[in-house]
A and B are shown apart, each in its own frame.
Chain A
Amino acid sequence: MKYVDEFRDAELARALGVQIAALTEPGRHYKIMEVCGGHTHTIYKHGIEAHLPENVELVHGPGCPVCVIPMGRVDDGIAIARNPEVIFTCFGDMMRVPGGNGSFLDAKADGADIRFVYSPLDALKMAVANPDRQVVFYAIGFETTAPSTALTLMRAKAEGITNFSVMCNHVTIVPPLKALLDSPDLRLDAFIGPGHVSTVVGARPYEFICEDYNTPIVVAGFEPLDLLQSILMIMQQLNEGRAEVENQYGRVVPFEGNLRALEVLQEVFELRPYFEWRGLGFISQSALKLSEAYADFDAELRYATPGVRVADPKACQCGEVLKGVIKPYECKVFGTACTPETPIGTCMVSSEGACAAYYNFGRFAKSAARADA
């Protein structure tokens, strides 16, 4: 198809790189954060940085839902999973995330009935098929994923399924962005806005970034040329002294978001007063819990959870990576003690994590660049 070929066109990528370079001021260093793990993946996989001038730096953000789960929440999940009547379910990506005392995979090897599911609806179906067991779904994800958990709970309630509950770890996209903007150790010139989460929340929630922090944000698609075009739109804004929400991914993201998804979120969830993010610490009103109307389905109310806070391992610098303060390869254990096979930190576990993406694709380009230097 012509459309696909256009998006893949290396000539266009080079031309965009030239246009971006022409808009940079010599002597100024630009830091642009891509919030979404999917974007990080594309950037490394397709060598986007090779098309950018040296003074335009891409900084990886906290938009990987697996990466931001703190160790204590894994431990709490394992505590629930160890109840003999429980079938504990989670997405496959969560299985290897290390807690303070091993991962879900370790707990499974140790006898807990932990199963991965593709969808929360598969977990609900498991509850129907196992009426003498309790099925718990370990819910993670930003607003992209939370509506799926919400609709699953609405169905469980409508069908009167009582042996199903959810341990809710859903997080929201705006509070961590605000925390990053307020962070003294990071100065960002602009954001590349996340694509899929914005199909749900729309582009409007980002307006404060422009109004309160005078910082541009461009919601971007996932093609290499989408990202380059978004960076060009950002550079145009910076050059003209504008700070606006722009939507490069308009072909998928409506400015107002998905109204039905927002409605079901409102019905099933309420904001937690605060929630711990791996590496970012506690952020107020940054996560969801089940609302009063769905309290019967709240696994944290059904089961005792230790709720302890476990500090990240000393050697692990996921926190700094998630905040964009350091690059994956600047972490002390990157690629040595911490690899996708034996991850110490979450950023190395998920394929969307900056460390895993860099380990799989970027390090080759980097070592080649170093050899040239």
Chain B
Amino acid sequence: MCLAIPGQILEFIDPVNQIAKVDVGGVRRNVNVGLLAKEEGGIHLGDWVLIHVGFALSKVDEEEAAATLKLLRGLGEAFEDEIEQLKTSNIT
């Protein structure tokens, strides 16, 4: 749970509960984007966000996201564990 992983917003699912579908390293899951309510410029489809325990913490640019994903993949087991745990998530 310590990691924050970049994911890309694919679809806004539920505006009331602020749920969006994201792609995190090839795994597609729903996350809450409510913490980005005050982000400058708002959030849009295709934006990259840092995801931690099912919540988007902050927007990042595409280059930062790519660099972070590469670093996390290099962690090996810690990253794979996090992705496995993400796969169990079924937020709606």
A and B bind: yes
Q: Which residue in chain A gives the minimum CB-CB distance to B51?
A: A119
Set A8, A45, A155, A196: member contacting B17, Cβ < 8 A: A155
Is B44 in contact with chain A by the CB < 8 A criterion?
no
**How many interface contacts (CB-CB < 8 Å) are there between A and B?**
130
* Given A116-B85, A118-B89, A141-B1, A252:B53 Cβ within 8 A: no
Is B10 in contact with chain A by the CB < 8 A criterion?
no
Is A38 in contact with chain B by the CB < 8 A criterion?
yes
A118 touches B64 (CB 8 A): no
State the main secondary structure of chain A at its contact with B: helix
Q: Give, as a whole number of angstroms, the nearest-CB distance from B2 to chain A.
A: 4
Q: Give, as a whole number of angstroms, the nearest-CB distance from B35 to chain A.
A: 5
Is B71 in contact with chain A by the CB < 8 A criterion?
yes
Count residues of A near B (Cβ-Cβ below 8 Å).
48
Residues on the B chain within 8 Å of A196, using CB: 4, 50, 52, 57
CA–CA, A155 to B34, complex, Å?
11
Q: Which residue in chain B gives the minimum CB-CB distance to A249?
A: B64
Residues on the B chain within 8 Å of A151, using CB: 32, 34-35, 55
Q: Give, as a whole number of angstroms, the nearest-CB distance from A248 to chain B.
A: 13
Q: Give, as a whole number of angstroms, the nearest-CB distance from A219 to chain B.
A: 13
* Given A119-B54, A148-B54, A199-B57, A258:B38 Cβ within 8 A: yes
CA–CA, A199 to B60, complex, Å?
11
CA–CA, A41 to B50, complex, Å?
19
Residues on the B chain within 8 Å of A116, using CB: 85, 88
CA–CA, A119 to B4, complex, Å?
12
Identify which of residues 17-76 in chain B touch chain A, using a CB-to-CB cut-off of 8 Å: 17, 31-32, 34-38, 50, 52-55, 57-58, 60-61, 63-64, 66-68, 70-71, 74-75
Q: Which of B1, B61, B89, B90 has the most CB of A within 10 A?
A: B1
CA–CA, A191 to B67, complex, Å?
24
Residues on the B chain within 8 Å of A1, using CB: 63, 66-67
Is B13 in contact with chain A by the CB < 8 A criterion?
no
Q: Give, as a whole number of angstroms, the nearest-CB distance from B15 to chain A.
A: 14
B85 touches A258 (CB 8 A): no
* Given A4-B70, A155-B17, A251-B64, A199:B54 Cβ within 8 A: no
Set B58, B60, B67: member contacting A3, Cβ < 8 A: B67
B66 touches A350 (CB 8 A): no
Is A135 in contact with chain B by the CB < 8 A criterion?
no
A252 touches B71 (CB 8 A): no
A223 touches B54 (CB 8 A): no
Q: Which residue in chain A gives the minimum CB-CB distance to B62?
A: A1
Is A328 in contact with chain B by the CB < 8 A criterion?
no
A45 touches B74 (CB 8 A): yes
Q: Which 8 A-B pairs have the closest CB atoms?
A: A119-B54, A91-B1, A118-B89, A148-B55, A351-B78, A260-B37, A260-B38, A352-B2
A binding-site residues for B, Cβ under 8 Å: 1, 3-4, 7-8, 37-38, 41-42, 45, 64-66, 91-93, 116-122, 125, 140-141, 144-145, 147-148, 151, 155, 196, 199-200, 222-223, 251-252, 254, 258-261, 264, 350-352
- Taking A4-B67, A93-B2, A120-B54 as given, write out 15 further A-B residue pairs in contact, using a Cβ cutoff of 8 Å, ordered by the A residue number: A1-B67, A3-B66, A4-B63, A4-B66, A91-B53, A118-B53, A119-B53, A119-B55, A121-B55, A151-B35, A199-B4, A252-B60, A261-B57, A264-B34, A351-B77
B binding-site residues for A, Cβ under 8 Å: 1-4, 17, 31-32, 34-38, 50, 52-55, 57-58, 60-61, 63-64, 66-68, 70-71, 74-75, 77-78, 81, 85-86, 88-92
The contact sample of 5 A-B pairs, CB cut-off 8 A, is A42-B71, A45-B75, A119-B31, A252-B50, A260-B38
